[in-house]
């Protein structure tokens, strides 16, 4: 189980650019992964700009595959069976595996378009019910974080939760939000118009997961604990459930996560993997793992 690190003020960790033309704090890279994440997110933005009709599933599959190709400690498995996650509302399951514990999440992904009312997408209903409610219930029942991924090609640099912006000339097209906060802010109170900037302002760029100053120092599991509790507190509460003494994360990841990590490559995982873990993974389209044990050594 992950131990709670000493609480710190996240604002003390930002490093400002001494440039009158750009005074907002910027994120300091902690590894080569930071630039890789930014490059991939920039490509998503470019893709959406040039081909506005590109689908969410195509963007998700390319995003996760490309990250796994570029970064050795990221592992991605897209399942061959067709599924739309009707039972849980989740598009992929996400695990952060460290020597001191593991944290899991369920993620719902949506395209966000400037000028459109986002409420309809947020309140999308499948045969089993409101998609975001299914996501929250699925995460709660499994003690996982419910997250919301927005694919967005903003016309200008958007404001995000962390208070930082990408450096000039760097575009971001993938933003990760707190699904419980999204639900509370935009769905629970009833029908209202939701602008793209409203939705993204409650998110952080995907690159923050490896570029954020909160990931400096301490063990990798503790770093992710601090990151999630600072920026995704409502999602953390969903994962913790009703127990006041609960800790975010678990001592070990599920068996299916370990099974994927034990293979030499994704190509080495055959259909037996899906058959063996079909019940546990029946309602997600993919599994992505950040093996932080590898990240600390390279």
Mind listing the pLDDT tens digit for each residue in 9-35?
333 332 222 223 323 233 343 456 888
Q: What is the pLDDT of residue 25?
A: 32
State yes or no: pLDDT of 170 exceeds 70: no
* Residue 78, in any domain of the structure: yes
Half-sphere exposure of 31 (CA within 13 A, CB side): 19
Mind listing the pLDDT tens digit for each residue in 70-83?
998 999 988 866 55
Q: What is the pLDDT of residue 3?
A: 44
Mind listing the pLDDT tens digit for each residue in 110-162?
999 888 888 887 877 777 788 899 999 999 999 999 999 999 998 877 888 87
State yes or no: pLDDT of 40 exceeds 90: yes
* Residue 248, in any domain of the structure: yes
State yes or no: pLDDT of 55 exceeds 60: yes
The domain of 126 spans: 29-295
Q: Give one DSSP letter per residue of 46-71, joined into a string.
A: HHHHH-TT--HHHHHHHHHHHHHHH-
* Residue 22, in any domain of the structure: no
* Residue 54, in any domain of the structure: yes
Least confident of 59-68, 88-97, 99-108, 244-253: 244-253
Q: What is the pLDDT of residue 59?
A: 96
State yes or no: pLDDT of 287 exceeds 50: yes
* Residue 160, in any domain of the structure: yes
Q: Which residues of 160-196 are buried (b: 16+ CB within 10 A; e: fewer)?
A: bbbebbbeeebbbbbbbbbbbbbbebbbeeeeeebeb
Report how far residue 253's alpha carbon sits from residue 102's, in angstroms, rounded to the nearest whole number. 5
Q: What is the pLDDT of residue 269?
A: 58
Count up the domains in the chain and report the number.
1
* Residue 24, in any domain of the structure: no
Considering the chain, what percentage of its residues have pLDDT values greater than 70?
Answer: 74
pLDDT band with cut points at 50, 70 and 90 for residue 243: low
* Residue 3, in any domain of the structure: no
pLDDT band with cut points at 50, 70 and 90 for residue 238: very high
More confident residue, 298 or 22: 298
Q: What is the pLDDT of residue 15?
A: 26
Cβ burial of 238 (10 Å; 0-12, 13-18, 19+) is buried
Mind listing the pLDDT tens digit for each residue in 191-209?
888 888 888 888 999 988 8
* Residue 20, in any domain of the structure: no
């Amino acid at each position: 189980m992950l131990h709670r690190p000493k609480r710190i003020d996240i604002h003390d960790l930002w490093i400002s650019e001494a440039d009158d033309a750009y005074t907002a704090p910027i994120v300091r890279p902690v590894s080569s992964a930071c630039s890789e994440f930014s490059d991939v997110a920039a490509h998503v933005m470019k893709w959406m700009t040039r081909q506005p009709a590109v689908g969410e599933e195509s963007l998700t599959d390319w995003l996760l595959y490309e990250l796994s190709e570029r970064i050795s400690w990221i592992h991605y498995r897209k399942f061959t069976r067709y599924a739309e996650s009707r039972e849980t509302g989740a598009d992929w399951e996400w695990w952060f595996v460290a020597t001191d514990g593991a944290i899991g999440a369920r993620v719902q992904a949506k395209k966000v378009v400037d000028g459109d009312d986002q409420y309809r997408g947020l309140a999308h209903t499948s045969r089993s019910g409101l998609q975001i409610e299914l996501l929250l219930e699925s995460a709660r029942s499994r003690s996982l974080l419910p997250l919301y991924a927005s694919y967005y090609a903003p016309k200008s640099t958007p404001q995000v939760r962390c208070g930082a912006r990408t450096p000039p000339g760097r575009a971001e097209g993938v933003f990760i939000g707190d699904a419980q906060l999204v639900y509370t802010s935009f769905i629970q109170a009833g029908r209202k118009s939701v602008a793209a900037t409203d939705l993204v302002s409650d998110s952080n760029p995907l690159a923050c997961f490896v570029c954020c100053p909160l990931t400096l120092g301490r063990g990798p599991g503790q770093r992710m604990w601090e990151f999630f509790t600072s920026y995704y507190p409502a999602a953390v509460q969903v994962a913790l459930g009703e127990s006041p003494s609960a800790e975010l994360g678990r001592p070990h990841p599920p068996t299916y996560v370990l099974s994927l990590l034990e293979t030499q490559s994704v190509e080495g995982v055959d259909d037996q993997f899906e058959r063996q873990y079909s019940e546990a993974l029946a309602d997600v389209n993919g599994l992505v793992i950040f093996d932080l044990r590898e990240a600390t050594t390279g």
